[in-house]
Amino acid sequence: MTDLRGDLPALVSQASRVLFFTGKGGVGKTTLACAVAIALADSGRSVLLVSTDPASNLDEMLGTPLAASARAVNGVPRLSALNIDPEQAADAYRERVLARMSGDEGQRALVREQLSGACTTEIAAFDEFVALLGTATRDYDHVVFDTAPSGHTLRLLSLPRAWSDFLLDNDRGASCLGPHSGLKMQELSFRAALDALGDAAHTTFVLVARPDASALREAARTRDELRALGLVNQRLAVNGVFTAQDGSDGVAQRFAALGAEALTHMPASLRDLPQDRIPLRTFDMVGLAALRAVFHGQAQCKDQNRTPPPSLAGGLPPLAALIDELAADERGLIMVMGKGGVGKTTIAAAVAVGLAARGVAVHLSTTDPAAHLTDALAGEMANLSVQRIDPRAETEKYIDKIMATRGKTLDEPSRALLLEDLRSPCTEEVAVFHAFAHTVAMARNAVVVLDTAPTGHSLLLLDATGAYHRQMMHSFADVNAAHVVTPLMRLQDSAFTKIILVTLPEVTPVSEAAALQDDLRRAHIEPYAWVINRSLLESGTRDPVLCARMAGEARQVERVTHGLAQRIYLLPWQGTPPVGVAALRALSL
């Protein structure tokens, strides 16, 4: 093993055995996780890089096809990587539970049906995560976790305590996960995971942010929630810090000033954390050369274009044109989807505000556990109502409903057992799905704009929608089911639902939007339009760093327009972040 290079940031040189990278979507978690893992491996350490994101793009970034078991990364000796595949983990979990069962085939079929929901997928993926914490750290010098965006990751990290507490006093139940014994056998693993996560000498949580006010607020919220779970060894990594090189370039100066203002006014709870700042780079963070250059400047990477590229953006219609089209309908569902950090909340809010300004009654909601709708709107307007699907509130509401219906006729001991079952962590997934289904149903009588969670979390919600659809079709198999309309069927109805995919003009967001489109099409859901957000192509900047990034933007705009989307709309980079009803309305008119 060699010493770590002295010019590496403390994020690498002081790396603990286990590193978790978390933060708001789009801040560069995967980039920094990969760069740190490669730097550690290049220094002679054995490293395992793990993605817990259901929408992982590690394969593309590392240039190595990955699977659910560790594979060596081509070109980086001593580095292995894997993706936790939720569906594959769920299949394996089902088989393990059923293999331990006795009883007739009818009982096994019932349990198999119980194990078909989203909560099974979640606990199965978590099961893989726990196993990696327990065994992989014995086989590697470092284990680096590239996690899903904050809300999903906090859910994952809270599960060891939640399941440990649930199993402590519960000797039966957990019906949505099959026989209780299937979980009880994992109790020691859950507690070992708790110990490993809370050991400050063993595990570090890296809060990744951009020099952006919303990303830093999200990092502060994540810090507080991690501390509440007893996970206190944290550090802050600010990615993409930009310094203008031309004092006469107004766009570059404003770009730099926005970042400086955000860092100056970062939440107080972040200021005492150990901190690393990584400069904004000119190149796409894909491939080993780019990832090795993250901490060592630009020497290893090409594409140092210092002149603005020819713009492809001029022929694309603005967001207002999309809203004009959507305003033709007086009811229906508009779902805004995409990778974390691409501006889904801003686009969803702008669409809702634009529709309301055109006289359409709009209900704006979100499924994102880390929603920022209130921050984005910062006010009220006529024709617009706003709601958030709050997982905790929806869980309590669901529990109260079940106790008032199913528990109404039970005696007190039976009610106590039912309530105990409902306190299992998987109840939250069921409750959120019911709230989502209710929101979809609201679109029968009004226009509903739904700001979704980042891609991976949304795909799990769609999995739950599919499982519910299959369950309903099975239940009505012997009767006339023509009158049955499930949430999935509404999402598949292009006259009822319009999916808007949001992306930035960068390699990874475009690739992820394309992958999401493929997933939707496999579920027979066709996206309606793409929105390319925060494009610099029409900005007129001459800054060499921004010009080099614009060359990359031009390639991605061409990629989207040549085969990925039929309807494409473009929203330019804004020198003043579009926060508040007035600013959002300006985007939409």
Tell me which residue of 19, 67, 85 sits closest to 47, measured CA to CA.
Answer: 19
Over the stretch 365-398, which tens digit does the pLDDT of each residue have?
Answer: 887 655 567 777 877 888 998 887 777 888 888 8
How many CB atoms neighbour CB 302 within 10 A? 11
Residue 424 near residue 174, CB atoms below 8 Å: yes
The gap from C-alpha 529 to its chain's centroid, in whole angstroms, comes to 21
Q: How many CB atoms lie within 10 A of CB 415?
A: 15
| C-alpha dist (Å) from residue 228 to 113, 214, 295, 446 | 35, 21, 32, 40
Record the tokens describing residue 418, joined without a space.
């039912």
| Residues recorded for the chain | 589
Is 437 exposed, middle or buried (CB count within 10 Å of its CB: 0-12, 13-18, 19+)?
A: middle
pLDDT (average), residues 458-474? 53
Mean pLDDT of the region 468-491 = 58
Higher-confidence position of 131 and 365: 365
Pairing mode, strands 275-279 and 234-241:
parallel
Mean pLDDT of 164-184: 49
Q: CA-to-CA distance for 193 and 134, rounded, in angstroms?
A: 7
Domains located in the chain, CATH noted: 10-87+134-167+190-293 (3.40.50.300), 313-389+440-588 (3.40.50.300)
Stretch 281-285: mean pLDDT: 76
pLDDT at res. 252:
92
Q: What is the pLDDT of residues 59-90, one digit of tens each?
A: 888 888 887 788 899 999 999 988 877 667 76
Q: Which residues, including other chains, have CB under 8 Å from residue 313's CB and lie 6 or more apart? A: 532, 535, 537, 538, 557, 570, 572
Does 320 or 226 have the greater pLDDT score? 320
Beta strand pairing call for 79-83 and 71-72? antiparallel
The single-letter DSSP state of residue 313 is G
- CA–CA separation, 378 vs 138, rounded Å? 49
Amino acid at 296: H
Q: Is the pLDDT of residue 235 over 90?
A: yes
Q: Do residues 345 and 374 lie in contact, with contact meaning Cβ atoms separated by under 8 Å?
A: no
Q: List, in sequence order, the alpha helices (H) in 169-249.
A: 180-184, 187-198, 213-228
Between 507 and 175, name the one with better pLDDT.
Answer: 507
Cβ-proximal residues to 15 (8 Å cutoff; 6+ apart), any chain: 36, 40, 142, 204
Region of poorest pLDDT, from 39-53, 207-221, 423-437, 447-461: 447-461
Considering the chain, what percentage of its residues have pLDDT values greater than 70?
Answer: 71
- Higher pLDDT, residue 429 or 439: 439
Residue 308: both structure tokens together? 């603005």
